[in-house]
Amino acid sequence: MAKKQVTFADIAEYTHFSKTTISRYFNHPDSLTLENQEKISQALDTLGYKKNKLAKVLANGKSEFIGIIVPNLYLHYYSEMLTQLLSSYSNYHYKFLVFSSEHGAEEEQQYIEELLSYQIEGLIVLSHTLSSQKLASYQIPVIAIEREAEYISSITTDNYMGSLQATSLLIRDKCDILIHINVNVEKTVPAYDRIRAFEETCKEYQVPYDIDLSVSGNSYQEILNVIRRIFTRIEEKYPNQKKGIFLANDTYANMFLNLIFQKYGKLPPTYEIIGFDNSPIASESILPITTVGQQIDVIAQTAMELLVQQMEEQKKRAPKPLEKPIHKQITPVLIRRNTTS
Amino acid sequence: MAKKQVTFADIAEYTHFSKTTISRYFNHPDSLTLENQEKISQALDTLGYKKNKLAKVLANGKSEFIGIIVPNLYLHYYSEMLTQLLSSYSNYHYKFLVFSSEHGAEEEQQYIEELLSYQIEGLIVLSHTLSSQKLASYQIPVIAIEREAEYISSITTDNYMGSLQATSLLIRDKCDILIHINVNVEKTVPAYDRIRAFEETCKEYQVPYDIDLSVSGNSYQEILNVIRRIFTRIEEKYPNQKKGIFLANDTYANMFLNLIFQKYGKLPPTYEIIGFDNSPIASESILPITTVGQQIDVIAQTAMELLVQQMEEQKKRAPKPLEKPIHKQITPVLIRRNTTS
DNA sequence: TTGTACGCGTTATCAG
DNA sequence: CTGATAACGCGTACAA
């Protein structure tokens, strides 16, 4: 509000060109003589011109905005994913409007409305509350990351492969009993494949297994208490057997490892432990934890490629809305550290 | 581009009102009769109207955008801060444009230019590369968080108080030797006060102390190796004394604790350990670590209050640019856990 | 209570 | 290579 911005009109007046020519200076500089480019260039910084992209957007319809909705940034997975998405700026020059939504569907819908009102060209969704059907109804390119995505395109870690790798390692290491510890995930969620792969692999190789889906809780302490109960149960039930424990994530794995260490002062040879995610805690733990590493950078990159592609399509005169959603899976890598032999 | 947006003009035509009235429906609904409000309301969803905030911004100059520049989101401190800032949306309804910048000053300046071109009303800076003088020159409300801020307003943890609390606790617990482990921070950085308070407090109470600023490295492994060297040195130099170790952050504290555990299988009574930040690792560690908890939520909240205030000022007819920058310090809280008696 | 006319800063179209 | 003019969608004096 202070002093009016310097606009194309001002530049035009100063240089005795028209606004159109000034515009061209920015968008098709080749169509001006070098001499005139120089004139305008000089006028620009004697007048102290600053672009106004909003006006540009209004005029040409290309906002270069992408909306992101994450459940939270507390979990390393989400914050790292956001980092990777933001870093794509250097490639694509899309700007990101970020919302964090943890209070249910209404809130999330409201955020999307707001995002749409800023003419976002695409949307990346990491939260779970809105159905993919609802998301598809917004008629805008959407990419889901690691969530239910029947009606929209998605990128997901290949949970089945990850779990298979972990389970196979425990089998190769000749564990007597394989145990998988997880929350009771719904079958529609991609992460359910971790349970499925564990079970199917155990059956295939005919090794005894035990699936414990009793984990729950909203705080570290609550979850730790559950893990402690599970630990006690396992200690009692499989006293002298070699136990291969595959946990749903590195946080659980770290809890379990701590409990072992507090009891034995070390990791006894009767235990092998594998986590999931390759989050920092896996390497910061008392013993670096073997884990299934999600390739967050690759996931983010792939998401952007897919989204950019669909957004480009939208800008054409006859945008074909992509009759079938595209689903990509990124294979995770097994990272062997010190909790397996 | 697909089908044109529904605009006020369309609503106006449909309802036989003027565009102005439609505009008023949104901004001063009281000035319409209830009957007409109803008419318009109905027209809105039969036509499927969606707002266009960009047009609104262009018309009234209030973008409701705030720019954020963080160095990265890998560190818990930054991601948590971003979370807290984003969550202020429910109070203030400002939208956030987020950039992550780790490649030096030119990159960062470019990002700020871009942000300005989107008519951001304010800027929150967590990165260190640009001087506060430079930032002040952009003539826009800026808040610095935990960084040099001579020429701009800032929010900082009261590092002196935090360090003082930690040091005092170690003294109360009758440690024979107090040791502070840190990187060699510059004196202009707020975190330097941690070193200063440690030293001054030790001197005041006349306890022997040892300041080790040799920490360095860009990866977890590199840093761990340095911490290991320091650990070895301390073990040799102060064999039978009770050692009070105050580390610059919880990650270092966790490393140190792990080294102790790997050697002794427990935390011997000759050690007390205090970290800084209250990041997740402090509670996820093999033994929950006593730490100085930064009140990230309070910092974020205060930052937003200050920024909103300055942005409001800007919108007035005679915006007074705040002759002196305001600096606020947030007192951290000592969180006593299991690595102190 | 409602409408007219114009401005916000840029781009697109058509003309020359 | 350059320019006039009309969009883009909404807000706001000023007038009625």
Region A293-313: mean pLDDT is 96
- Contacts by residues B219-228 (CB-CB < 8 Å, ≥ 24 positions apart): B220/A280, B220/A283, B220/A284, B223/B251, B223/B252, B223/B255, B224/B255, B227/B181, B227/B252, B227/B255, B227/B256, B227/B259, B228/B259
Q: Is residue A305 over pLDDT 60?
A: yes
For B325, residues 6+ apart whose C-beta sits below 8 A from its C-beta are B136, B149, B150, B151, B152, B153, B154
The full 3-state SS of chain B, as one line of letters, equals: CCCCCCCHHHHHHHHCCCHHHHHHHHHCHHHCCHHHHHHHHHHHHHHCCCCCHHHHHHHHCCCCEEEEEECCCCCHHHHHHHHHHHHCHHHHCCEEEEEECCCHHHHHHHHHHHHHHCCCCEEEECCCCCCHHHHHCCCCCEEEECCCCCCCEEEEECHHHHHHHHHHHHHHCCCCEEEEEEECCCCCCCCHHHHHHHHHHHHHHCCCEEEEEEECCCCHHHHHHHHHHHHHHHHHHCCCCCEEEEECCHHHHHHHHHHHHHHHCCCCCCEEEEEEECCHHHHHCCCCCEEEECCHHHHHHHHHHHHHHHHHHHHCCCCCCCCCCCEEEECCEEECCCCCC
- Residues A134-157: tens digit of each pLDDT: 999 998 999 999 999 999 999 999
Q: Is the full-model pTM beyond 0.85?
A: yes
Query: At A236, which helix (H) or strand (E)?
Result: helix A220-237
Q: Does A340 touch chain B (CB under 8 A)?
A: no
A21/D2 CA-to-C1' distance in Å: 7
- pLDDT attached to residue A259: 97
Report, in this order, helix, strand and coil percent for chain A, each rounded to 5.
50, 20, 35
The encoded tokens of residue A253 equal 């794995």
b/e per residue, A275-289, with b = 16+ CB within 10 A? bbbbbbbbbbbbbbb
Asked whether B274 and B247 are in contact (CB, 8 A), the reply is: yes
Q: Round the average pLDDT of chain B to a whole number and report it.
A: 93
Region B299-327: mean pLDDT is 87
- Which residue from B53, B114, B316 is facing A118, i.e. has the nearest CB? B53
Higher pLDDT: B81 or A102? It is B81
- Residues A21-60: tens digit of each pLDDT: 989 998 888 888 888 888 889 899 899 999 999 999 988 8
The separation between the first and the last C-alpha atoms of chain A, rounded to the nearest angstrom, is 67
Per CB-CB distance under 8 Å, the chain B contacts of A117 are 50-54
DSSP A269: T
Q: Give how far A332 is from chain B: nearest CA, Å.
A: 20
Q: Does A110 touch chain B (CB under 8 A)?
A: no
- pLDDT attached to residue A78: 94
| Alpha-carbon distances, residue A114 vs A64, A68, B93 (angstroms) | 16, 12, 10
Q: Give how far B167 is from chain A: nearest CA, Å.
A: 25
Q: Is residue B229 over pLDDT 60?
A: yes
Q: Partners of B210 in the beta sheet? A: B179
Q: Is residue B3 over pLDDT 60?
A: no
Region A285-308: mean pLDDT is 97
Q: What percent of chain B has pLDDT over 70?
A: 98
Asked whether A303 and A268 are in contact (CB, 8 A), the reply is: no
- pLDDT attached to residue A2: 44
Q: What percent of chain B has pLDDT over 90?
A: 77
Residue B42: CB atoms within 10 A of its CB come to: 12
- pLDDT attached to residue B322: 73
A17/D2 CA-to-C1' distance in Å: 8
The amino acid that residue B24 corresponds to is R
Region B5-32: mean pLDDT is 88
Residue A158: CB atoms within 10 A of its CB come to: 19
Distance in angstroms (rounded) separating the CA atoms of residues B85 and B94: 10
Which of the residues A64, A79, A99 would you substitute to probe the B interface, choosing the one with the greatest number of B C-beta atoms within 10 Å?
Answer: A79
The separation between the first and the last C-alpha atoms of chain B, rounded to the nearest angstrom, is 67
Residue found under tokens 């967590």: B126
Q: What domains can be seen in chain B, in order of their start residue?
A: 8-60 (1.10.260), 65-157+298-332 (3.40.50.2300), 159-295 (3.40.50.2300)
Q: Is residue B108 over pLDDT 90?
A: yes
The encoded tokens of residue A91 equal 């490639």
B36/D8 CA-to-C1' distance in Å: 27
Q: Is residue B203 over pLDDT 80?
A: yes
Residue A56: CB atoms within 10 A of its CB come to: 18
Ranges of H-type helices in A147-219: 159-172, 192-205
Q: Is residue A294 over pLDDT 50?
A: yes
Region A246-273: mean pLDDT is 96
Pairing of strands B243-247, B177-183: parallel
In what order do the strands lie in the sheet containing A271-277?
Answer: A209-215, A177-183, A243-247, A271-277, A290-293, A333-335
DSSP A20-85: HHHHHHHH-GGGS-HHHHHHHHHHHHHHT----HHHHHHHH----EEEEEES-SSSHHHHHHHHHH
Cα dihedral A39→A45→A46→A52 (10° resolution): 100
Which of the residues B3, B50, B54 would you substitute to probe the A interface, choosing the one with the greatest number of A C-beta atoms within 10 Å?
Answer: B54
Region B272-284: mean pLDDT is 96
- pLDDT band of residue B276 (cuts 50, 70, 90) is very high
- pLDDT attached to residue A317: 65
Max distance between CA atoms of chain A, in angstroms, equals 90
Q: Is residue B319 over pLDDT 70?
A: no
Q: What percent of chain A has pLDDT over 70?
A: 98
Strands annotated E in chain A: 65-70, 95-100, 122-125, 142-145, 153-157, 177-183, 209-215, 243-247, 271-277, 290-293, 327-330, 333-335
Asked whether A96 and B96 are in contact (CB, 8 A), the reply is: no
Q: Is residue B1 over pLDDT 50?
A: no
- Which residue from A251, A283, A315 is facing B1, i.e. has the nearest CB? A315
Q: Does B270 touch chain A (CB under 8 A)?
A: no
Region for residue B154 given its phi and psi (left: phi exceeds 0; alpha: psi -120 to 50; beta: otherwise)? beta
For B95, residues 6+ apart whose C-beta sits below 8 A from its C-beta are A97, A114, A118, B64, B65, B66, B89
Distance in angstroms (rounded) separating the CA atoms of residues A108 and B316: 33
Q: How many helices (H) and strands (E) does chain A have?
A: 14, 12
Q: Is residue B222 over pLDDT 70?
A: yes
- Residues A123-134: tens digit of each pLDDT: 999 999 999 999
b/e per residue, A192-204, with b = 16+ CB within 10 A? bbbbebbbebbee
- pLDDT attached to residue B39: 87
Q: Partners of A335 in the beta sheet? A: A291
- Which residue from B54, B89, B266 is facing A118, i.e. has the nearest CB? B54
- pLDDT attached to residue A32: 87
Phi and psi at residue B179, to the nearest 5°: -125, 130
Q: Is the C-beta atom of A8 closer than 7 angstroms to strand C?
A: yes
- Residues A94-119: tens digit of each pLDDT: 999 999 988 899 999 999 999 999 99
CA A27 from chain centre, in angstroms, equals 34
Distance in angstroms (rounded) separating the CA atoms of residues B284 and A289: 14
Name the residue among B62, B12, B251, B269 with its Cα closest to residue A54: B62
CA atoms within 13 A of residue B34's CA, in its CB half-sphere = 0
CA atoms within 13 A of residue B128's CA, in its CB half-sphere = 11
CA atoms within 13 A of residue B249's CA, in its CB half-sphere = 14
Residue found under tokens 């945008």: A319
Cα dihedral A181→A187→A191→A197 (10° resolution): 70
> Which residue on chain B is closest to A139 by alpha carbon?
B2
Distance in angstroms (rounded) separating the CA atoms of residues A135 and A122: 11
Q: Is residue B2 over pLDDT 60?
A: no
Per CB-CB distance under 8 Å, the chain B contacts of A97 are 95-97
Q: What percent of chain A has pLDDT over 90?
A: 77
Q: What is the Cα Rg of chain A in Å?
A: 27
- pLDDT band of residue A1 (cuts 50, 70, 90) is very low
Residue found under tokens 């989050």: A279
The encoded tokens of residue B146 equal 């935990």
- Residues B56-69: tens digit of each pLDDT: 999 888 999 999 99
Residue A153: CB atoms within 10 A of its CB come to: 22
